[in-house]
């Protein structure tokens, strides 16, 4: 079997952390502008553009928008954690594909031994990738970052699986800046 090229393996559609953040900022601004539009609208008169808010009090409108902001943050946090995972997995694939000689790449080759190119999703993010960086990475200072990221993965797991259980997260709570 011929080894596929990287362009055949990777979609190139993964978002960067910055792209997810920019998307969040854009959406957050739209929510803010819409909230201003509604709260600054003259009283009375049912305009078509305000129809979804008709009859709502200021407190109800504020509660509705707070919900939108909170939900946007949850989706953005999931997107950020997913984009970070994608970056780590793409890095893994490129190192294995290129057969690099640094300690991390050598370890990745061992982890990946015997796996064909379409089985990359089987690689475990925490045990195979993050622990390799922790044990073989060039900079010991990254251990703390890896530990924090592992904690945040509990949040990702919770968000991605529908938030139906009481989460035991890596810290008391996360907001979008923590995750970024």
**Which residues in this chain contact another protein in the complex, by CB under 8 A?**
38, 40-41, 43-48, 50-58, 61
Q: Are 172 and 155 in contact (CB under 8 A)?
A: no
Smallest distance from another protein to CB 50, Å: 5
The two three-digit tokens of residue 162, written as one number: 């529908």
Cβ-based nearer residue to another protein, 28 or 56: 56
Q: Position of tokens 């601004």?
A: 29
Smallest distance from another protein to CB 43, Å: 7
Smallest distance from another protein to CB 40, Å: 8
Cβ-based nearer residue to another protein, 62 or 91: 62
The two three-digit tokens of residue 63, written as one number: 């509660």
Q: Are 96 and 55 in contact (CB under 8 A)?
A: no
d(CA 130, CA 107): 12
Cβ-based nearer residue to another protein, 43 or 138: 43
Smallest distance from another protein to CB 24, Å: 24
Smallest distance from another protein to CB 18, Å: 29
Q: Position of tokens 């890596």?
A: 170
Cβ-based nearer residue to another protein, 33 or 148: 33
Q: Are 31 and 65 in contact (CB under 8 A)?
A: yes
**Inter-axis angle of helices 142-160 and 58-98, nearest 10:** 120
Cβ-based nearer residue to another protein, 43 or 162: 43
Question: How many C-beta atoms surround the C-beta of residue 8 within 10 A?
Answer: 9
């Amino acid at each position: 079997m011929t080894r596929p090229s990287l362009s055949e393996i990777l979609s190139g559609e993964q978002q960067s952390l910055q792209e997810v953040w920019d998307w969040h900022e854009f959406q957050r601004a739209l929510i803010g502008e819409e909230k201003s539009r509604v709260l600054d609208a003259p009283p009375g008169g049912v305009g078509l553009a305000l129809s979804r808010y008709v009859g709502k009090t200021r407190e109800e409108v504020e509660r509705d928008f707070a919900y939108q902001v909170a939900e946007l943050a949850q989706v953005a946090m999931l997107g950020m954690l997913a984009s970070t995972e994608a970056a780590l997995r793409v890095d893994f694939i490129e190192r294995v594909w290129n057969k690099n000689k640094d300690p991390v790449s050598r370890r990745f080759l061992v982890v990946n031994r015997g796996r064909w190119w379409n089985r990359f999703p089987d690689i475990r993010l925490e045990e195979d990738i993050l622990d390799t960086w922790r044990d073989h990475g060039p900079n010991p200072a990254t251990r703390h970052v890896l530990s924090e990221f592992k904690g945040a993965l509990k949040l990702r797991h919770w968000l991605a699986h529908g938030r139906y259980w009481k989460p035991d997260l890596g810290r008391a709570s996360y907001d979008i800046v923590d995750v970024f």
